Amino acid sequence: KDEGLLDNAKKTKGKTKAEIKEKTESILRQVMENNIDIRGGNAKPEITDLLVFQLFFLPYTLSSYLYWYVSWIIAHNIRGLPLSDDEKLYLIRKYMKKGVTQFEALEASSKEEFIKQDLWIKEKFDAWAKEKEEEQKKQLAENARYKAYRRHVKNHGTGRMTFDDS
């Protein structure tokens, strides 16, 4: 509706419900294809994702990782150079235990906020993570659906998966 593609009042006269539904579904599909960014496990596979290519490029990948790791140790542990923003974001991503595509999907403003809060420092990150966890527990405690789920688990136990065919 924001883009002006769905004008239900003007164009629906004289059409059946099936035609209207088909038209709206095609418009929604088109909007979703244009706006959704699918990466990670759901992205289109590339030829370099095949195991054969991964094994072929393994020596190069290992050597480039080793070079990067040694240069990191020399630059930051030995020479004591300050971290760049990309390096800070790498440490934050590593502490969050997120993949590259997951972390890239975060908004730029939240990444800037991470840097402002000095989350690349492990102690500050741990305090921030604990605070976020407490906040999430508080939200779950107030959520009616979560309360109902907890009551169900308390009364009936968790669902059990069995492979017994008898």
State pLDDT tens for residues 11-67. 666 778 888 888 888 888 888 777 776 665 666 778 888 899 999 999 999 999 999
User: What CA–CA distance (Å, rounded) separates 86 from 81?
Assistant: 14
> What is the four-CA torsion angle of 71, 73, 79, 84, rounded to 10 degrees?
70
User: What CA–CA distance (Å, rounded) separates 73 from 77?
Assistant: 5
- Assigned token pair, 71: 């240069």
Q: Tell me the mean pLDDT in the region 135-148.
A: 88
User: What CA–CA distance (Å, rounded) separates 18 from 26?
Assistant: 12
pTM of the full predicted structure? 0.65
The whole-number pLDDT of residue 119 equals 94
CA 87 to chain centre: 20
